[in-house]
Protein backbone atom coordinates (compact mmCIF):
# COMPACT_ATOMS: atom_id res chain seq x y z
CA UNK A 1 0.00 0.00 0.00
CA UNK A 2 2.85 2.36 0.85
CA UNK A 3 4.46 1.74 -2.57
CA UNK A 4 1.20 2.55 -4.35
CA UNK A 5 0.84 5.83 -2.46
CA UNK A 6 4.43 6.74 -3.30
CA UNK A 7 3.86 6.02 -7.00
CA UNK A 8 0.64 8.07 -7.02
CA UNK A 9 2.38 10.95 -5.24
CA UNK A 10 5.25 11.00 -7.74
CA UNK A 11 2.84 10.83 -10.68
CA UNK A 12 0.75 13.66 -9.22
CA UNK A 13 3.82 15.87 -8.73
CA UNK A 14 5.01 15.18 -12.29
CA UNK A 15 1.60 15.85 -13.89
CA UNK A 16 0.45 18.77 -11.74
CA UNK A 17 3.76 20.57 -11.22
CA UNK A 18 6.46 19.12 -13.48
CA UNK A 19 4.69 19.11 -16.84
CA UNK A 20 3.26 22.69 -16.58
CA UNK A 21 6.58 23.97 -15.30
CA UNK A 22 8.46 22.34 -18.17
CA UNK A 23 5.90 23.60 -20.69
CA UNK A 24 6.09 27.13 -19.35
CA UNK A 25 9.88 27.30 -19.24
CA UNK A 26 10.35 25.85 -22.74
CA UNK A 27 7.56 27.62 -24.63
CA UNK A 28 8.47 30.10 -27.42
CA UNK A 29 7.72 33.73 -26.62
CA UNK A 30 5.90 35.35 -29.53
CA UNK A 31 4.85 38.96 -29.14
CA UNK A 32 1.67 40.15 -30.84
CA UNK A 33 1.95 41.34 -34.45
CA UNK A 34 -0.64 43.33 -36.47
CA UNK A 35 -1.22 40.44 -38.88
CA UNK A 36 -4.54 41.72 -40.23
CA UNK A 37 -3.04 45.11 -41.09
CA UNK A 38 -0.06 43.43 -42.76
CA UNK A 39 -2.44 41.37 -44.89
CA UNK A 40 -4.19 44.57 -45.95
CA UNK A 41 -0.86 46.05 -47.03
CA UNK A 42 -0.16 42.95 -49.11
CA UNK A 43 -2.93 44.16 -51.44
CA UNK A 44 -1.47 47.57 -52.19
CA UNK A 45 -3.80 50.26 -53.53
CA UNK A 46 -1.89 53.48 -54.07
CA UNK A 47 -3.41 56.82 -54.99
CA UNK A 48 -1.13 59.66 -56.07
CA UNK A 49 -2.74 63.09 -55.96
CA UNK A 50 -1.16 66.03 -57.77
CA UNK A 51 -2.33 69.64 -57.44
CA UNK A 52 -2.26 71.76 -60.59
CA UNK A 53 -3.07 75.45 -60.71
CA UNK A 54 -3.88 76.90 -64.14
CA UNK A 55 -3.57 80.70 -64.24
CA UNK A 56 -4.94 82.63 -67.24
CA UNK A 57 -2.92 85.71 -68.13
CA UNK A 58 -4.40 88.85 -69.66
CA UNK A 59 -5.48 88.31 -73.25
CA UNK A 60 -6.23 84.60 -73.02
CA UNK A 61 -9.87 84.72 -71.89
CA UNK A 62 -12.62 87.31 -72.31
CA UNK A 63 -14.31 89.00 -69.33
CA UNK A 64 -17.40 86.86 -69.91
CA UNK A 65 -15.31 83.69 -69.89
CA UNK A 66 -13.59 84.77 -66.67
CA UNK A 67 -16.93 84.65 -64.89
CA UNK A 68 -17.55 81.07 -66.09
CA UNK A 69 -14.12 79.61 -65.27
CA UNK A 70 -14.66 76.60 -62.98
CA UNK A 71 -12.96 76.71 -59.61
CA UNK A 72 -11.73 73.10 -59.58
CA UNK A 73 -11.85 70.01 -61.75
CA UNK A 74 -10.81 66.49 -60.74
CA UNK A 75 -9.65 63.72 -63.02
CA UNK A 76 -8.88 60.12 -62.04
CA UNK A 77 -6.77 57.66 -63.96
CA UNK A 78 -6.74 54.04 -62.73
CA UNK A 79 -4.27 51.27 -63.59
CA UNK A 80 -4.19 47.65 -62.41
CA UNK A 81 -0.53 46.64 -62.26
CA UNK A 82 -1.10 43.06 -61.09
CA UNK A 83 -3.53 41.12 -58.90
CA UNK A 84 -2.05 42.59 -55.69
CA UNK A 85 -1.16 46.11 -56.82
CA UNK A 86 -3.28 48.88 -58.30
CA UNK A 87 -2.59 52.55 -58.96
CA UNK A 88 -4.84 55.58 -59.16
CA UNK A 89 -3.69 59.02 -60.27
CA UNK A 90 -5.84 61.96 -59.22
CA UNK A 91 -5.25 65.37 -60.76
CA UNK A 92 -6.83 68.27 -58.87
CA UNK A 93 -6.88 71.27 -61.23
CA UNK A 94 -7.74 74.75 -59.98
CA UNK A 95 -8.40 77.63 -62.38
CA UNK A 96 -8.06 81.37 -61.81
CA UNK A 97 -6.90 84.55 -63.52
CA UNK A 98 -3.52 86.18 -62.94
CA UNK A 99 -3.09 88.87 -60.31
CA UNK A 100 -1.63 92.29 -61.07
CA UNK A 101 1.76 91.29 -59.62
CA UNK A 102 1.79 88.11 -61.70
CA UNK A 103 0.99 90.14 -64.80
CA UNK A 104 4.00 92.35 -64.05
CA UNK A 105 6.17 89.24 -63.68
CA UNK A 106 4.94 87.93 -67.01
CA UNK A 107 6.02 91.19 -68.66
CA UNK A 108 9.70 90.43 -68.07
CA UNK A 109 11.97 90.34 -71.16
CA UNK A 110 12.71 86.60 -71.02
CA UNK A 111 10.98 83.46 -69.83
CA UNK A 112 13.80 82.74 -67.35
CA UNK A 113 13.37 86.17 -65.72
CA UNK A 114 9.60 85.68 -65.62
CA UNK A 115 10.08 82.29 -63.97
CA UNK A 116 12.30 83.84 -61.29
CA UNK A 117 9.89 86.74 -60.69
CA UNK A 118 6.92 84.38 -60.32
CA UNK A 119 8.94 82.28 -57.89
CA UNK A 120 9.71 85.36 -55.80
CA UNK A 121 5.99 86.17 -55.56
CA UNK A 122 5.00 82.80 -54.09
CA UNK A 123 6.75 79.48 -53.71
CA UNK A 124 4.66 76.50 -54.77
CA UNK A 125 4.50 73.63 -52.28
CA UNK A 126 6.38 70.41 -52.90
CA UNK A 127 4.62 68.18 -55.43
CA UNK A 128 2.43 70.92 -56.92
CA UNK A 129 2.54 72.63 -60.31
CA UNK A 130 1.50 76.08 -61.57
CA UNK A 131 0.81 76.57 -65.29
CA UNK A 132 0.52 80.11 -66.63
CA UNK A 133 -1.46 80.32 -69.86
CA UNK A 134 -0.03 83.19 -71.90
CA UNK A 135 -1.42 84.71 -75.13
CA UNK A 136 -0.16 83.69 -78.56
CA UNK A 137 1.49 87.08 -79.08
CA UNK A 138 3.72 86.82 -76.00
CA UNK A 139 7.39 87.67 -76.45
CA UNK A 140 8.50 85.36 -73.66
CA UNK A 141 8.58 82.25 -75.85
CA UNK A 142 10.24 81.68 -79.22
CA UNK A 143 7.91 81.14 -82.15
CA UNK A 144 8.40 77.37 -82.29
CA UNK A 145 7.94 76.89 -78.52
CA UNK A 146 4.50 76.24 -77.05
CA UNK A 147 5.50 75.28 -73.50
CA UNK A 148 8.37 76.58 -71.36
CA UNK A 149 9.38 74.63 -68.24
CA UNK A 150 11.37 76.67 -65.75
CA UNK A 151 13.72 75.78 -62.93
CA UNK A 152 10.97 75.91 -60.32
CA UNK A 153 7.49 74.40 -60.25
CA UNK A 154 6.06 76.70 -62.90
CA UNK A 155 5.50 76.42 -66.64
CA UNK A 156 4.40 78.84 -69.34
CA UNK A 157 1.88 77.55 -71.88
CA UNK A 158 1.19 79.52 -75.03
CA UNK A 159 -2.42 79.47 -76.14
CA UNK A 160 -2.78 77.94 -79.62
CA UNK A 161 -3.52 79.84 -82.80
CA UNK A 162 -6.83 78.03 -83.17
CA UNK A 163 -7.84 79.11 -79.66
CA UNK A 164 -7.81 82.85 -80.08
CA UNK A 165 -10.23 84.93 -78.07
CA UNK A 166 -13.74 84.24 -79.30
CA UNK A 167 -13.89 80.51 -78.85
CA UNK A 168 -16.00 79.08 -76.04
CA UNK A 169 -14.52 78.37 -72.63
CA UNK A 170 -15.22 74.63 -72.94
CA UNK A 171 -13.28 74.50 -76.21
CA UNK A 172 -10.40 76.35 -74.55
CA UNK A 173 -10.27 73.94 -71.60
CA UNK A 174 -10.47 70.92 -73.91
CA UNK A 175 -7.59 72.37 -75.91
CA UNK A 176 -5.44 72.88 -72.81
CA UNK A 177 -6.16 69.52 -71.14
CA UNK A 178 -3.84 67.23 -73.19
CA UNK A 179 -0.91 69.64 -72.95
CA UNK A 180 -1.37 70.07 -69.19
CA UNK A 181 -1.40 66.29 -68.85
CA UNK A 182 1.90 66.09 -70.77
CA UNK A 183 3.28 68.71 -68.41
CA UNK A 184 2.23 66.64 -65.41
CA UNK A 185 3.86 63.51 -66.80
CA UNK A 186 7.08 65.43 -67.42
CA UNK A 187 7.23 67.57 -64.26
CA UNK A 188 5.49 65.37 -61.63
CA UNK A 189 5.16 61.68 -62.39
CA UNK A 190 4.24 59.34 -65.20
CA UNK A 191 2.86 55.82 -65.13
CA UNK A 192 6.18 54.58 -66.52
CA UNK A 193 8.14 56.08 -63.60
CA UNK A 194 5.77 54.73 -60.96
CA UNK A 195 5.63 51.18 -62.33
CA UNK A 196 9.44 51.17 -62.53
CA UNK A 197 9.53 52.19 -58.85
CA UNK A 198 7.35 49.16 -58.04
CA UNK A 199 10.00 46.74 -59.33
CA UNK A 200 10.37 45.14 -55.85
CA UNK A 201 6.70 44.11 -55.94
CA UNK A 202 5.83 43.53 -59.58
CA UNK A 203 7.53 42.21 -62.67
CA UNK A 204 8.18 44.96 -65.20
CA UNK A 205 6.71 44.63 -68.66
CA UNK A 206 9.33 43.49 -71.20
CA UNK A 207 8.07 46.06 -73.67
CA UNK A 208 8.93 48.96 -71.40
CA UNK A 209 12.66 48.87 -72.12
CA UNK A 210 13.33 52.52 -71.28
CA UNK A 211 11.91 52.34 -67.77
CA UNK A 212 13.68 49.02 -67.13
CA UNK A 213 17.01 50.54 -68.20
CA UNK A 214 16.49 53.64 -66.05
CA UNK A 215 15.52 51.60 -62.97
CA UNK A 216 18.52 49.29 -63.41
CA UNK A 217 20.93 52.20 -63.87
CA UNK A 218 19.99 54.12 -60.74
CA UNK A 219 20.86 53.02 -57.23
CA UNK A 220 18.04 51.64 -55.11
CA UNK A 221 16.55 53.96 -52.53
CA UNK A 222 18.68 54.15 -49.40
CA UNK A 223 18.78 56.37 -46.28
CA UNK A 224 22.37 57.30 -47.13
CA UNK A 225 25.01 57.15 -49.84
CA UNK A 226 28.82 57.24 -49.81
CA UNK A 227 30.42 59.19 -52.68
CA UNK A 228 34.10 58.56 -53.41
CA UNK A 229 36.20 60.56 -55.89
CA UNK A 230 39.44 58.85 -56.91
CA UNK A 231 42.31 60.20 -58.98
CA UNK A 232 44.23 57.42 -60.73
CA UNK A 233 47.80 58.27 -61.64
CA UNK A 234 49.45 55.22 -63.27
CA UNK A 235 52.62 57.14 -64.12
CA UNK A 236 53.69 59.37 -61.20
CA UNK A 237 57.23 59.52 -62.60
CA UNK A 238 55.93 61.44 -65.61
CA UNK A 239 52.91 63.30 -64.25
CA UNK A 240 52.68 65.23 -61.00
CA UNK A 241 48.93 65.83 -60.80
CA UNK A 242 47.19 68.52 -58.78
CA UNK A 243 43.42 68.59 -58.30
CA UNK A 244 41.39 70.88 -56.07
CA UNK A 245 38.81 68.24 -55.23
CA UNK A 246 37.60 69.97 -52.06
CA UNK A 247 36.86 73.25 -53.82
CA UNK A 248 35.30 71.45 -56.79
CA UNK A 249 32.97 69.44 -54.55
CA UNK A 250 31.85 72.58 -52.73
CA UNK A 251 31.24 74.40 -56.01
CA UNK A 252 29.67 71.74 -58.22
CA UNK A 253 28.50 68.77 -56.13
CA UNK A 254 27.45 70.15 -52.76
CA UNK A 255 24.58 72.34 -54.12
CA UNK A 256 23.01 69.23 -55.64
CA UNK A 257 23.46 67.17 -52.47
CA UNK A 258 22.00 69.99 -50.37
CA UNK A 259 18.90 69.96 -52.53
CA UNK A 260 18.68 66.16 -52.23
CA UNK A 261 18.74 66.22 -48.41
CA UNK A 262 15.03 65.26 -48.12
CA UNK A 263 15.86 62.01 -49.93
CA UNK A 264 19.04 60.79 -48.21
CA UNK A 265 22.20 61.69 -46.35
CA UNK A 266 25.45 61.92 -48.28
CA UNK A 267 29.09 61.64 -47.25
CA UNK A 268 32.01 62.45 -49.56
CA UNK A 269 35.62 61.37 -49.52
CA UNK A 270 38.48 61.42 -52.01
CA UNK A 271 41.75 59.63 -52.63
CA UNK A 272 44.71 59.50 -55.02
CA UNK A 273 45.90 56.09 -56.23
CA UNK A 274 49.37 55.80 -57.73
CA UNK A 275 50.41 53.11 -60.22
CA UNK A 276 46.75 52.18 -60.70
CA UNK A 277 46.39 50.71 -64.16
CA UNK A 278 43.32 49.85 -66.20
CA UNK A 279 42.56 46.18 -66.59
CA UNK A 280 42.56 46.51 -70.39
CA UNK A 281 45.42 47.36 -72.72
CA UNK A 282 44.28 50.13 -75.08
CA UNK A 283 44.80 49.71 -78.81
CA UNK A 284 46.58 52.22 -81.01
CA UNK A 285 44.40 53.65 -83.78
CA UNK A 286 46.48 54.87 -86.72
CA UNK A 287 43.58 56.81 -88.21
CA UNK A 288 43.30 59.01 -85.12
CA UNK A 289 46.94 58.73 -84.01
CA UNK A 290 45.71 57.87 -80.52
CA UNK A 291 44.98 54.95 -78.23
CA UNK A 292 41.37 53.82 -77.93
CA UNK A 293 39.11 51.80 -75.66
CA UNK A 294 36.13 50.31 -77.45
CA UNK A 295 32.74 49.72 -75.89
CA UNK A 296 33.23 45.96 -75.55
CA UNK A 297 36.37 46.36 -73.41
CA UNK A 298 34.85 48.83 -70.94
CA UNK A 299 33.23 46.03 -68.95
CA UNK A 300 36.69 44.67 -68.12
CA UNK A 301 38.03 47.98 -66.85
CA UNK A 302 36.16 48.19 -63.55
CA UNK A 303 37.05 44.98 -61.68
CA UNK A 304 40.87 45.42 -61.58
CA UNK A 305 40.50 49.07 -60.58
CA UNK A 306 37.83 48.34 -57.97
CA UNK A 307 40.26 46.09 -56.08
CA UNK A 308 42.42 49.17 -55.42
CA UNK A 309 39.60 51.43 -54.29
CA UNK A 310 39.05 49.89 -50.89
CA UNK A 311 35.71 49.75 -49.10
CA UNK A 312 34.08 51.54 -46.21
CA UNK A 313 33.38 48.67 -43.83
CA UNK A 314 31.98 51.03 -41.20
CA UNK A 315 28.92 51.84 -43.35
CA UNK A 316 26.31 49.70 -45.05
CA UNK A 317 25.25 52.50 -47.41
CA UNK A 318 25.78 52.12 -51.18
CA UNK A 319 29.00 53.59 -52.56
CA UNK A 320 29.10 55.73 -55.71
CA UNK A 321 32.56 55.64 -57.26
CA UNK A 322 33.82 58.39 -59.56
CA UNK A 323 37.24 57.76 -61.06
CA UNK A 324 39.41 60.24 -62.94
CA UNK A 325 42.03 58.32 -64.91
CA UNK A 326 45.06 60.12 -66.35
CA UNK A 327 46.79 57.87 -68.94
CA UNK A 328 50.50 57.33 -68.68
CA UNK A 329 52.79 59.06 -71.15
CA UNK A 330 53.22 55.89 -73.24
CA UNK A 331 49.46 55.52 -73.84
CA UNK A 332 48.45 59.12 -74.46
CA UNK A 333 46.14 60.35 -75.76
CA UNK A 334 43.48 57.76 -74.83
CA UNK A 335 39.92 58.02 -76.10
CA UNK A 336 36.76 56.00 -75.44
CA UNK A 337 34.79 54.84 -78.48
CA UNK A 338 31.13 53.89 -78.62
CA UNK A 339 29.71 50.90 -80.50
CA UNK A 340 29.70 52.94 -83.71
CA UNK A 341 33.48 53.48 -83.38
CA UNK A 342 32.90 57.17 -82.68
CA UNK A 343 34.74 59.03 -79.94
CA UNK A 344 32.60 59.73 -76.86
CA UNK A 345 32.53 63.56 -76.44
CA UNK A 346 32.89 63.42 -72.66
CA UNK A 347 35.56 60.68 -72.87
CA UNK A 348 33.76 58.99 -69.97
CA UNK A 349 31.34 56.16 -69.23
CA UNK A 350 29.29 55.01 -66.27
CA UNK A 351 28.41 51.60 -64.89
CA UNK A 352 24.88 51.03 -63.51
CA UNK A 353 24.69 51.08 -59.72
CA UNK A 354 28.46 51.46 -59.41
CA UNK A 355 29.72 54.81 -60.66
CA UNK A 356 31.59 56.46 -63.51
CA UNK A 357 35.06 56.70 -65.02
CA UNK A 358 36.47 59.63 -66.98
CA UNK A 359 39.70 59.55 -68.99
CA UNK A 360 41.57 62.86 -68.74
CA UNK A 361 44.31 63.33 -71.35
CA UNK A 362 47.20 65.61 -70.43
CA UNK A 363 49.54 65.10 -73.39
CA UNK A 364 48.52 68.50 -74.80
CA UNK A 365 49.90 70.21 -71.68
CA UNK A 366 53.52 69.64 -72.65
CA UNK A 367 55.71 69.15 -75.72
CA UNK A 368 57.94 66.26 -76.80
CA UNK A 369 61.11 67.73 -75.26
CA UNK A 370 59.68 68.33 -71.80
CA UNK A 371 61.54 67.15 -68.70
CA UNK A 372 59.57 64.72 -66.56
CA UNK A 373 57.84 64.79 -64.17
CA UNK A 374 55.44 67.48 -65.38
CA UNK A 375 53.26 69.48 -62.98
CA UNK A 376 49.67 69.44 -64.25
CA UNK A 377 46.68 71.28 -62.80
CA UNK A 378 43.47 69.45 -63.65
CA UNK A 379 40.54 71.47 -64.99
CA UNK A 380 37.99 70.57 -62.29
CA UNK A 381 35.12 72.40 -63.98
CA UNK A 382 35.39 70.09 -66.98
CA UNK A 383 35.71 66.99 -64.78
CA UNK A 384 32.88 67.87 -62.40
CA UNK A 385 30.55 68.65 -65.28
CA UNK A 386 30.86 65.02 -66.37
CA UNK A 387 30.66 63.59 -62.85
CA UNK A 388 27.62 65.74 -62.04
CA UNK A 389 25.74 64.37 -65.07
CA UNK A 390 26.67 60.81 -64.06
CA UNK A 391 25.64 61.45 -60.45
CA UNK A 392 22.21 62.61 -61.58
CA UNK A 393 21.70 59.43 -63.58
CA UNK A 394 22.91 57.14 -60.79
CA UNK A 395 20.60 58.81 -58.25
CA UNK A 396 17.59 58.37 -60.52
CA UNK A 397 17.18 61.90 -61.91
CA UNK A 398 15.82 61.02 -65.34
CA UNK A 399 16.59 63.45 -68.13
CA UNK A 400 13.75 62.48 -70.43
CA UNK A 401 13.44 64.06 -73.86
CA UNK A 402 10.69 66.72 -73.86
CA UNK A 403 7.92 66.46 -76.46
CA UNK A 404 8.08 68.66 -79.60
CA UNK A 405 7.30 72.28 -78.83
CA UNK A 406 8.53 72.01 -75.22
CA UNK A 407 11.53 74.00 -74.00
CA UNK A 408 13.15 72.97 -70.69
CA UNK A 409 15.30 75.54 -68.90
CA UNK A 410 18.78 74.50 -67.68
CA UNK A 411 18.75 73.26 -64.10
CA UNK A 412 21.02 76.09 -62.89
CA UNK A 413 23.86 76.11 -60.36
CA UNK A 414 22.18 73.60 -58.03
CA UNK A 415 22.28 70.90 -60.69
CA UNK A 416 18.62 70.03 -60.09
CA UNK A 417 15.38 71.83 -60.87
CA UNK A 418 12.63 71.93 -58.26
CA UNK A 419 10.30 69.87 -60.42
CA UNK A 420 13.04 67.28 -61.00
CA UNK A 421 13.34 66.93 -57.22
CA UNK A 422 9.56 66.46 -56.98
CA UNK A 423 9.62 63.83 -59.70
CA UNK A 424 12.37 61.94 -57.88
CA UNK A 425 10.50 62.22 -54.58
CA UNK A 426 7.35 60.71 -56.14
CA UNK A 427 9.34 57.74 -57.42
CA UNK A 428 11.30 57.26 -54.18
CA UNK A 429 8.15 57.42 -52.05
CA UNK A 430 6.48 54.70 -54.11
CA UNK A 431 9.69 52.64 -54.19
CA UNK A 432 10.06 52.85 -50.40
CA UNK A 433 6.45 51.83 -49.87
CA UNK A 434 6.80 48.89 -52.28
CA UNK A 435 10.04 47.71 -50.64
CA UNK A 436 8.70 48.08 -47.09
CA UNK A 437 5.45 46.24 -47.84
CA UNK A 438 7.37 43.40 -49.50
CA UNK A 439 9.77 43.16 -46.55
CA UNK A 440 7.07 43.23 -43.88
CA UNK A 441 4.79 40.72 -45.62
CA UNK A 442 7.74 38.37 -46.22
CA UNK A 443 8.61 38.60 -42.53
CA UNK A 444 5.04 37.84 -41.52
CA UNK A 445 4.98 34.78 -43.78
CA UNK A 446 8.31 33.57 -42.37
CA UNK A 447 7.15 33.89 -38.77
CA UNK A 448 3.89 32.12 -39.63
CA UNK A 449 5.68 29.19 -41.25
CA UNK A 450 8.29 28.72 -38.48
CA UNK A 451 6.25 28.69 -35.30
CA UNK A 452 9.15 28.24 -32.87
CA UNK A 453 10.97 31.47 -33.74
CA UNK A 454 10.98 33.88 -30.82
CA UNK A 455 9.28 37.21 -31.54
CA UNK A 456 10.55 39.56 -28.91
CA UNK A 457 9.02 42.90 -28.01
CA UNK A 458 11.65 44.86 -29.96
CA UNK A 459 10.75 43.08 -33.22
CA UNK A 460 7.05 43.53 -32.58
CA UNK A 461 7.63 47.23 -31.96
CA UNK A 462 9.60 47.60 -35.21
CA UNK A 463 6.92 45.74 -37.19
CA UNK A 464 4.14 47.88 -35.69
CA UNK A 465 6.15 51.03 -36.39
CA UNK A 466 6.70 49.96 -40.01
CA UNK A 467 3.00 49.20 -40.51
CA UNK A 468 1.96 52.54 -38.98
CA UNK A 469 4.47 54.47 -41.11
CA UNK A 470 3.31 52.64 -44.24
CA UNK A 471 -0.31 53.51 -43.55
CA UNK A 472 0.62 57.16 -42.99
CA UNK A 473 2.76 57.25 -46.16
CA UNK A 474 -0.09 55.85 -48.26
CA UNK A 475 -2.52 58.34 -46.71
CA UNK A 476 -0.19 61.30 -47.35
CA UNK A 477 0.30 60.26 -50.98
CA UNK A 478 -3.46 60.17 -51.34
CA UNK A 479 -3.68 63.66 -49.85
CA UNK A 480 -0.92 64.99 -52.11
CA UNK A 481 1.47 65.79 -49.24
CA UNK A 482 4.61 64.60 -50.99
CA UNK A 483 7.13 65.72 -48.34
CA UNK A 484 5.36 63.89 -45.49
CA UNK A 485 4.77 60.84 -47.67
CA UNK A 486 8.49 60.57 -48.41
CA UNK A 487 9.42 60.97 -44.74
CA UNK A 488 6.96 58.28 -43.57
CA UNK A 489 8.06 55.93 -46.34
CA UNK A 490 11.70 56.30 -45.23
CA UNK A 491 10.71 55.52 -41.64
CA UNK A 492 8.77 52.48 -42.86
CA UNK A 493 11.64 50.99 -44.82
CA UNK A 494 14.09 51.53 -41.96
CA UNK A 495 11.79 49.90 -39.38
CA UNK A 496 10.92 46.97 -41.66
CA UNK A 497 14.56 46.20 -42.44
CA UNK A 498 15.58 46.44 -38.79
CA UNK A 499 12.88 43.89 -37.95
CA UNK A 500 13.65 41.59 -40.88
CA UNK A 501 17.41 41.48 -40.27
CA UNK A 502 17.23 41.22 -36.49
CA UNK A 503 19.81 38.60 -35.33
CA UNK A 504 17.27 36.87 -33.10
CA UNK A 505 15.28 35.80 -36.17
CA UNK A 506 18.03 33.57 -37.58
CA UNK A 507 16.36 30.24 -38.28
CA UNK A 508 19.58 28.37 -37.50
CA UNK A 509 19.06 29.20 -33.81
CA UNK A 510 15.95 27.01 -33.66
CA UNK A 511 15.49 23.23 -33.92
CA UNK A 512 12.81 21.30 -35.79
CA UNK A 513 10.31 19.28 -33.73
CA UNK A 514 11.90 15.91 -34.54
CA UNK A 515 15.23 17.11 -33.12
CA UNK A 516 13.46 18.29 -29.97
CA UNK A 517 11.98 14.80 -29.49
CA UNK A 518 15.43 13.31 -29.94
CA UNK A 519 16.71 15.55 -27.11
CA UNK A 520 13.84 15.15 -24.65
CA UNK A 521 13.10 11.39 -24.99
CA UNK A 522 16.39 10.22 -23.37
CA UNK A 523 15.69 12.58 -20.46
CA UNK A 524 12.02 11.82 -19.81
CA UNK A 525 11.70 8.18 -20.86
CA UNK A 526 13.76 6.64 -17.97
CA UNK A 527 11.69 8.62 -15.47
CA UNK A 528 8.32 8.11 -17.09
CA UNK A 529 8.52 4.30 -17.65
CA UNK A 530 8.62 3.32 -13.92
CA UNK A 531 5.87 5.80 -13.10
CA UNK A 532 3.73 4.58 -15.97
CA UNK A 533 4.25 0.90 -15.02
CA UNK A 534 3.38 1.65 -11.41
CA UNK A 535 0.19 3.41 -12.47
CA UNK A 536 -0.74 0.51 -14.70
CA UNK A 537 -0.13 -1.93 -11.84
CA UNK A 538 -2.23 0.16 -9.45
CA UNK A 539 -5.04 0.34 -12.01
CA UNK A 540 -4.87 -3.43 -12.50
CA UNK A 541 -5.05 -4.06 -8.73
CA UNK A 542 -8.02 -1.69 -8.41
CA UNK A 543 -9.89 -3.54 -11.14
CA UNK A 544 -9.07 -6.87 -9.53
CA UNK A 545 -10.42 -5.67 -6.16
CA UNK A 546 -13.64 -4.54 -7.82
CA UNK A 547 -14.09 -7.96 -9.40
CA UNK A 548 -13.47 -9.74 -6.09
CA UNK A 549 -15.92 -7.46 -4.32
CA UNK A 550 -18.51 -8.04 -7.03
CA UNK A 551 -18.07 -11.83 -6.72
CA UNK A 552 -18.57 -11.75 -2.92
CA UNK A 553 -21.70 -9.64 -3.31
CA UNK A 554 -23.19 -12.10 -5.79
How much is the pLDDT for 348? 92
Mean pLDDT of 144-173: 79
How much is the pLDDT for 231? 93
Check pLDDT > 70 for residue 1: no
pLDDT, greater one: 316 or 468 = 468
Neighbours of 175 (CB within 10 A): 14
Going from the C-alpha of 398 to that of each of 344, 392, 543, the distances in angstroms are: 20, 8, 88
How much is the pLDDT for 512? 65
How much is the pLDDT for 509? 57
Buried b (16+ CB within 10 A) or exposed e, 382-406: ebbebbbbbbbbbbbbbeeeeeeeb
How much is the pLDDT for 84? 84
Check pLDDT > 90 for residue 554: no
pLDDT, greater one: 173 or 367 = 173
Separation between Cα atoms, residue 404 and residue 398, nearest integer Å:
18
Going by pLDDT thresholds of 50, 70 and 90, the confidence category of residue 232 is very high
How much is the pLDDT for 358? 93
**What phi and psi values does residue 377 have, to the nearest 5 degrees?**
-95, 120
How much is the pLDDT for 22? 67
How much is the pLDDT for 470? 94
- With pLDDT > 90 as the criterion, what percentage of the chain qualifies? 28
How much is the pLDDT for 384? 93
Long-range contacts of 42-46 (CB under 8 A, 24+ apart): 42/84, 42/437, 42/441, 43/84, 43/85, 44/84, 44/85, 44/86, 44/201, 44/433, 44/434, 44/437, 45/85, 45/86, 45/88, 46/85, 46/86, 46/87, 46/88, 46/430, 46/433, 46/474, 46/477
How much is the pLDDT for 25? 66
Mean pLDDT of 119-145: 86
Check pLDDT > 60 for residue 162: no
Please state the separation of Cα 228 from the chain's center in Å.
20
Which residue stretches of 260-329 are H helix? Answer: 302-309
How much is the pLDDT for 451? 74
Going by pLDDT thresholds of 50, 70 and 90, the confidence category of residue 382 is very high
- With pLDDT > 70 as the criterion, what percentage of the chain qualifies? 91
* Winning range, highest mean pLDDT, from 197-201, 250-254, 313-317: 250-254
How much is the pLDDT for 314? 62
Q: What is the mean pLDDT of the chain?
A: 84
How much is the pLDDT for 74? 85
How much is the pLDDT for 321? 92
Collapsing DSSP states into helix, strand and coil, what is residue 271? strand
Going by pLDDT thresholds of 50, 70 and 90, the confidence category of residue 243 is very high
| pLDDT tens per residue, range 328-347 | 888 888 999 888 888 889 99
How much is the pLDDT for 131? 92
Mean pLDDT of 389-406: 84
How much is the pLDDT for 253? 93
| pLDDT tens per residue, range 167-224 | 777 888 888 888 888 888 888 888 888 888 888 777 766 555 555 555 567 888 888 8
How much is the pLDDT for 27? 67
Going by pLDDT thresholds of 50, 70 and 90, the confidence category of residue 406 is confident
In contact, 523 and 466? CB cutoff 8 Å:
no
How much is the pLDDT for 202? 74
How much is the pLDDT for 453? 80
Least confident of 64-78, 125-139, 183-197, 428-442: 64-78
Check pLDDT > 80 for residue 416: yes
Which residue stretches of 318-417 are H helix? Answer: 380-394
| pLDDT tens per residue, range 83-110 | 888 899 998 889 988 889 988 888 888 8
In degrees, to the nearest 5, what angle opens at C-alpha 449 toward C-alphas 445 and 454? Answer: 95
Amino acid sequence: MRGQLAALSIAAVVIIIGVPLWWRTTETYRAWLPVSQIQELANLELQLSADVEVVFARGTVTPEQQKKIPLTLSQDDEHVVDEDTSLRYRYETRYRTATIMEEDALNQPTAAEADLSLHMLSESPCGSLVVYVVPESTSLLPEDVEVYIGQRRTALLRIGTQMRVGRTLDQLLDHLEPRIKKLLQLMSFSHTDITAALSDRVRLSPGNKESIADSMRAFKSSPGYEITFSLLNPDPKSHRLHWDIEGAVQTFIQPLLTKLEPLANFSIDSQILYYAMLGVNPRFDNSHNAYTLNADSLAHVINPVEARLGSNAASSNPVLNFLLYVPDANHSPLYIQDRKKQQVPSNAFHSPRWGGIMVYNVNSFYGPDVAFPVDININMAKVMGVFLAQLRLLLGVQSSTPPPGFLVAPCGSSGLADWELDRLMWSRSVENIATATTTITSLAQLLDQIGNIVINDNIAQQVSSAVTSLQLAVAELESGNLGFALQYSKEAILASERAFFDPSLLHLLYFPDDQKFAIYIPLFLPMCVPILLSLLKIASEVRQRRRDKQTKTD
